[in-house]
Structure 1
Amino acid sequence: MITIANAQLWVHDQDEALAFYTEKVGLEVRADVTLPEMGGFRWLTVGPAGQPDMAIVLMPVPGPPLMDDDSAGQVRALMAKGYAGTIFLATDDCWASYEELTGRGVEFVETPEERPYGIDSGFRDPSGNHLRLTQVRDLATL
């Protein structure tokens, strides 16, 4: 059986991303390991409490030799536009979660809105990544 263990988001600054995802979004640290034998590479993951089998890797945009400067610049440009990746977060009450996250300082780019599939909203992280916060309706009732 194949399962999904991790999803990756590019980030400009791992410490800034870690603070955002733990203090504002409310995720928990899954792993924070620095590997000296790999040039100080830091494996940093966060995930929702109660869902231990899934984590988001907060990965800095690498430079040479892993990624040439031109490609790294293209990734950063896509991040700035919100097109480098999206994480979809589910909630039982979109409005309550919206109020809670707003109270913690998350700035939404889309307030909760009724959609055919449920209530949906959106915000971005400090690196520009787009996140959706959705209360999904039972699709069997649609």
Structure 2
Amino acid sequence: MDDFPTGAVELTQLLVVSDLDRSRAFYCNVLGADVHREYGGTSLVLQFQGVWLLLVTGGGPTEDKPSVTFAPPPDPDVVSHQLTMRVPDCQAAYEILRGRGAKFLTPPHDRGGEIRCFFRDPDGHLLEISEIPDGSA
């Protein structure tokens, strides 16, 4: 296929959650995501900063993925995935998110070329806010 990817391709980030209502509250009320669509009480499509987030409850194999089981992270301290949000002011974002109920591992740390800190969603998915002090990406 010579025309892949095209401008019509959109990326969706899938996160497996244990409680859809609790996750909806976190992503909408703490992070400010908007609900786009819900499917049968087992999945929820959110729009967040130009990215599609698909929250799904766990489940076993299906015809199109016969050996795959979806499950929330079993151990929040072992990470194979995280969402990073680049922000203009890490300290200010930290204070806002903390005020909305986000539980951070530590306050922001200045690592020289980056100021960052981490928090988790209700299922333990790791999230990061990060500032590049000189404004470069």
Q: TM-score, normalised by structure 2?
A: 0.76
How many pairs were matched up? 128
CA RMSD of aligned residues (A): 2.7
Aligned residues: percent identity?
27
By percentage of residues, which structure has more helix?
1
What is aligned with 1:115?
A: 111
Q: For the structure 1 residues 111 and 5, does the alpha-carbon distance in structure 2 shift closer, same or farther, using more than 3 Å as the test? A: same
2:101 alignment partner AA = G
2:74 alignment partner AA = A
After superposing on structure 2, the runs of 4+ consecutive aligned residues of structure 1 that deviate more than 3 Å are 40-43, 64-69, 137-140
By percentage of residues, which structure has more strand?
1
Q: For the structure 1 residues 4 and 110, does the alpha-carbon distance in structure 2 shift closer, same or farther, using more than 3 Å as the test? A: farther
> Structure 1: any 5+ residue segments left out of the alignment?
35-39
Work out the CA distance in 2 between the residues paired with 1:16 and 1:85. 20
Q: For the structure 1 residues 82 and 60, does the alpha-carbon distance in structure 2 shift closer, same or farther, using more than 3 Å as the test? A: farther
Q: CA deviation at 1:119?
A: 1.1
Q: CA deviation at 1:27?
A: 1.9
Once the two structures are superposed, residues 31-70 of structure 1 have per-residue CA deviations (whole angstroms, 9 ceiling, x without a partner) of 2222xxxxx464412233xx44x2111122213546779x
Partner of residue 98 from structure 1, selected from 94, 98, 110: 94
2:19 alignment partner AA = D
Work out the CA distance in 1 between the residues paired with 2:104 and 2:130. 13
Partner of residue 58 from structure 2, selected from 53, 58, 61: 61
Q: CA deviation at 1:116?
A: 3.2
Matches within 5 A, 1:1-142: 1=6, 3-29=9-35, 31-34=36-39, 40=40, 42-48=42-48, 51-52=49-50, 54-65=51-62, 71=69, 76-78=73-75, 80-137=76-133, 138-139=135-136
Once the two structures are superposed, residues 51-100 of structure 1 have per-residue CA deviations (whole angstroms, 9 ceiling, x without a partner) of 44x2111122213546779x556x5424x335252111121111111001
